[in-house]
Amino acid sequence: MLEVMDVQVEGVHSPVLVGGPQEAEAAVVFVHGNAGSGQDWRALMESVSSFARCVAPDMPGYGGADKPQDFDYTVEGFGRYLGGVLDHLTVRHAHLVLHDLGGPWGLNWAAGHSTAVASLALLGIGALPGYRWHPFARMFRTPVLGEILLALTRRRDVARTLRRGSRGSLPDAYVEAMARSFRDPGTRRAVLRFYRATPDLGAVTVRDAAALREVNPPTLVIWGGGDPYVPARYAQVQRQYFPRAEIAVLPTSGHWPFVDDPDGVANALVPFLRVQLSE
């Protein structure tokens, strides 16, 4: 059974979805992206919690977490916060499952704590050499334009954007959750602050991935073949940084593979984690 607990790191509260044996020092750590929450992982966690401890925090600025104006909405700020959550929960060995912006956040923490990284699962994210921000990100990075774009965003706009990024159908509940996030002024602020603090996502991800090359953790790469935001050609690139990487490209999926192809993701991720947790 999954439960929600409250964690406070340096005065910032976050709800954390947890499951499995919470006394275990090893945990599968799910990190959401923009503009998600720990609840995005509920279906996968239902499966994984049957054999492993699982934790999925809402990161600051998102979901039910605090959205303080003075939080450090940078890759490094999110990486430190994730580390604080893991310390609070006494997670000593992390099997990271990362999606979207959760990728750079999680990799940043991992780069500074390489001996605590038990394995990596990268969903449509990873080391992105030469990456250029997609059009929406470039608009978010533009003063005034970004504020106007988010202020005018309605549910139908979110639904249209999600459809563009997916080759399958997305549940209405997921669309509504994303739309609700973009209606939140605190989340809008977090989005703009992060994108404007991150001019070169490619360089950041390459830096942190390179820090893990010597450790070479067991790695699973899952990519939606139709991802328009982070192209699937980056899936094979991950072996340059994670030589042990197993790669699964889901041809009928897009940027949210755990939503538009949940069976495809589960069929790859769950056996991978079972192997890692048994070693």
Tell me which residue of 244, 245, 262 sits closest to 253, measured CA to CA.
262
Report yes or no on whether pTM surpasses 0.85: yes
**In this predicted structure, which of 2-6, 122-126, 166-170, 204-208 has the lowest mean pLDDT?**
166-170
For residue 160, being part of any structural domain is answered with no
Whichever domain contains 96, its CATH number is 3.40.50.1820
pLDDT band at residue 132 under the 50/70/90 scheme: very high
Residues 6+ apart with CB under 8 A from 26: 52, 53, 91, 92, 93, 94, 95, 118, 277
CA atoms within 13 A on the CB side of 263: 3
Residues 6+ apart with CB under 8 A from 235: 221, 223, 247, 249
Predicted pLDDT at 75: 98
pLDDT band at 170 (very low <50, low <70, confident <90, very high): confident
How confident is residue 164, by pLDDT bands cut at 50, 70 and 90? Answer: confident
Q: Is residue 183 part of a domain?
A: no
Give alpha helix (H) positions in 58-154. 75-88, 102-112, 135-140, 145-151
Distances (CA, A) of 86 to 30, 164, 239: 11, 34, 27
Q: Are 265 and 225 in contact (CB under 8 A)?
A: no
pLDDT at 50: 96
- Structural domain includes residue 168: no
Nearest CA-CA partner of 223 in 246, 257, 264, 252:
257
Question: What letter does residue 70 receive in the DSSP assignment?
Answer: T
Residue numbers of the domain that contains 217: 3-132+200-278
Beta-strand relationship, 219-224 and 246-250: parallel
Q: What percentage of residues in the chain have a pLDDT greater than 90? A: 92
Separation of alpha carbons 98 and 117, rounded Å: 13
Q: Residue 67 has what pLDDT? A: 98
Is 115 part of any domain?
A: yes
In a domain, 173, yes or no: no
What pLDDT is stored for residue 25 in this prediction? 96
User: In this predicted model, what pLDDT tens digit does every residue of 40-79 receive, in sequence order?
Assistant: 999 999 999 999 999 999 999 999 999 999 999 999 999 9
What pLDDT is attached to residue 256?
Answer: 96
DSSP helix/strand/coil, 8 = strand
Q: Tens of pLDDT along 181-193? A: 999 999 999 999 9
Residue 180 lies in a domain: no
Domain count, the chain: 1
**How far is 253 from 277, CA to CA, in rounded Å?**
27
How is residue 133 written in tokens?
Answer: 């921000």
Q: Is the pLDDT of residue 33 over 80?
A: yes
User: Residue 166 has which token pair?
Assistant: 């997916």
CB-based contacts of 173: which residues, under 8 Å, 6+ apart? none
Q: Is residue 241 part of a domain?
A: yes
In a domain, 140, yes or no: no
Report the pLDDT value the prediction gives residue 168, as an integer from 0 to 100: 76
Give the pLDDT band of residue 238 (cuts 50, 70, 90).
very high
Predicted confidence at residue 160, as pLDDT, reads 87
Residues 191, 224 contacting (CB under 8 angstroms): no
